[in-house]
A and B are shown apart, each in its own frame.
Chain A
Amino acid sequence: MKKVLSLLSMLVLTPSASLLLAEPAPAAPAASSSPLIEQAEAARKEADALGYEWRDTAKILDSAREALQRGDQAESDKLASKALFQARAGKAQGLYMAKNWKMMIPKN
């Protein structure tokens, strides 16, 4: 009787055990980009085209993509916003300097 019971319990337990041990259902594939990242990248290209991209912008944008890959949307958006800010500021700087650089020449 004991043997039968133990055998039965094994049969019952094993599928549950296998459920416990089984991998979780595969998550949806992590997004590689977001609208904010796309916007920041477009802005970065504009600053670059003027020759006024800042040093860290691309790196910050890469970090935004990495955060998104790990599923951290909030962090990704924060970093993408920072990259967008830098790209816009660089572009504005470039447009201003194209017009006003001669003002920077010191008067003797």
Chain B
Amino acid sequence: MKKTIQRGLFTGALVLMTAMTAKPANAAVNYQALVDADVKKFQGFFRKEFPDVKLEDFGNGVYALDEDARKQWKEMEEFPPYELDVEAGKALFNKPFANGKSLASCFPNGGAVRGMYPYFDEKRKEVVTLEMAINECRVANGEKPYAWKKGDIARVSAYIASISRGQKVDVKVKSKAAYDAYMKGKEMFYAKRGQLNMSCSGCHMEYAGRHLRAEIMSPALGHTTHFPVFRSKWGEIGTLHRRYAGCNENIGAKPFPAQSKEYRDLEFFQTVMSNGLKYNGPASRK
């Protein structure tokens, strides 16, 4: 009897103490610290899995993991298939709109802004991607937006990526709203979906470097540093969200629209996971 009362009092005291010292919901949580811990764990997984690959080289995907694939890729890079797209992108970037302005008017640093995207816009409470910013510039100046997945949007993105090469990936997650978007992206990355019940992480973490039929699986680390890509399978240059949609279809899931909140949050999460790497787009891929 005594023990029960004692136990009850003890529990009660504990509860009271917790209630008195518990932080209110909106107290300053260090979201950046939480995210940094995630990044360390995520990158640690790949460093352990592929100890001979330098951190930076993960931006080269499969070519960082497989010697034969790298040889073929190096040969392709002597005459990069995306060069014409970069030139076309430069022209589009500087081409005057009807109102006299151009894409160049919207972007500082001569357009070398790849390192600024994606970012969480605290006022709008959403993730802003490079492609989104390109089209918002056009619309703000009375022009029609580009189609999202290929063509001119990819060319402009390729030009911006090419003059931004070497910029560090350093995406910040400072607020709760930003962290919520980050967590949505994280959930999408790890959850299995589609008729084939697969996740991004399923293939691109545990099975990175393995063969899926004749293809080698790329590591998720470095996934978003090198876009847009000239993909041999497409025979042209395309954006990250185009690839997201293709992957979703491959596993029997209905793709989300390009630049949907879902794909922007995923891009946000994936890019954060590559913090510390360098932007190295545009790139060629199989």
Please list the residues of chain A having a beta carbon within 8 angstroms of any beta carbon in chain B: 48, 51-58, 86, 89, 93-94, 97-98, 101-102, 104-106, 108
Given A93-B192, A101-B191, A106 and B206 touching (CB < 8 A)?
yes
**Residue of B48, B192, B256 with most partner-chain A CB within 10 A:** B192
Minimum CB distance partner of A101 in chain B: B191
Across-interface contacts of B248 in A (CB, < 8 A): 55
Q: Are A106 and B201 in contact (CB under 8 A)?
A: yes
25 contacts between A and B (CB under 8 A): A51-B256, A51-B262, A52-B193, A52-B253, A53-B253, A53-B254, A54-B194, A54-B195, A54-B254, A55-B194, A55-B248, A55-B249, A55-B252, A55-B253, A55-B254, A57-B254, A94-B193, A97-B191, A101-B187, A104-B192, A105-B190, A106-B201, A108-B41, A108-B45, A108-B48
Expressed in whole angstroms, the Cα–Cα distance for A94 and B202 within the complex equals 16
Is B218 positioned at the interface, with any CB of A under 8 Å from its CB?
Answer: no
Question: Per-position contact with A for B203-221: 1 when CB-CB < 8 Å, else 0?
Answer: 0011000000000000000
Minimum CB distance partner of B248 in chain A: A55
Across-interface contacts of A52 in B (CB, < 8 A): 193, 253
Is B142 positioned at the interface, with any CB of A under 8 Å from its CB?
Answer: no
Given A97-B191, A101-B191, A58 and B254 touching (CB < 8 A)?
yes
Minimum distance in angstroms from A40 CB to a CB of chain B: 15
Given A55-B253, A58-B254, A104 and B197 touching (CB < 8 A)?
no
Expressed in whole angstroms, the Cα–Cα distance for A45 and B278 within the complex equals 41
Minimum distance in angstroms from B253 CB to a CB of chain A: 6
Across-interface contacts of A97 in B (CB, < 8 A): 187, 191-193
Expressed in whole angstroms, the Cα–Cα distance for A81 and B193 within the complex equals 21
Expressed in whole angstroms, the Cα–Cα distance for A58 and B253 within the complex equals 11
Is B44 positioned at the interface, with any CB of A under 8 Å from its CB?
Answer: yes
Given A102-B190, A105-B190, A55 and B201 touching (CB < 8 A)?
no
Across-interface contacts of B253 in A (CB, < 8 A): 52-55
Is B199 positioned at the interface, with any CB of A under 8 Å from its CB?
Answer: yes
Given A52-B193, A93-B192, A97-B191, A104 and B199 touching (CB < 8 A)?
yes
Expressed in whole angstroms, the Cα–Cα distance for A89 and B196 within the complex equals 11
